[in-house]
Amino acid sequence: MADNKRRGEDADDDRLNDEVVSDGADDDATDADEPATRGGTATRERAKADSADSRSKTRTDGDKVGLFGRIARFIREVVAELRKVIWPTRKELLTYTGVVIAFVTVMLAIVAVLDFAFAKGVLWVFGNPS
């Protein structure tokens, strides 16, 4: 009785495994139709950029490209990478700027206090010449 209930030997288990695989395939098909939650058409633009990158990779290593061709390719790749960046909103930018300024101010205060304390300690240990 226990032998026929092992996974893979029961007809119901095979049917369930097939359903799980087919459900995953259906999910992948619907994901392409749904817009990205952030950035709108970012996934479509990223797919276009990926297809453009694959075309540039088809060039063989034996092809010689001049100096201006390499500079132009570099600029195209930089622009393609910048299009992939998810830029922060104005609110996020102001929040991040405030956090950085607050952190730097706190660290500045800590370093200033430690510097003052070590300066007083050195003067106490070695004496004040004036």
Q: Is residue 107 over pLDDT 60?
A: yes
- When mean pLDDT is compared over 5-19, 51-65, 116-130, the highest value belongs to 116-130
For the entire predicted model, the pTM comes to: 0.40
Structure tokens at 34: 């749904």
Q: What is the pLDDT of residues 8-39, one digit of tens each?
A: 555 555 555 554 444 445 555 455 555 555 55
DSSP the chain: --GGGSTTTSHHHHHHHHHHHHHHHHHHHHHHHSPPSSSSSHHHHHHHHHHHHHHHHTS-TT----HHHHHHHHHHHHHHHHHH--PPPHHHHHHHHHHHHHHHHHHHHHHHHHHHHHHHHHHHHH----
- For residue 84, what are the CA distances in angstroms to 51, 53, 56, 104? 14, 13, 17, 30
Predicted pLDDT of residue 89:
96
Residue ranges covered by each domain of the chain: 88-130
Rounded mean pLDDT, 104-128: 94
pLDDT digits (tens, 9 = 90+) for 60-98: 555 688 899 999 999 999 999 999 999 999 999 999 999
* The predicted structure's pLDDT at residue 49: 61
Does 89 or 47 have the greater pLDDT score? 89
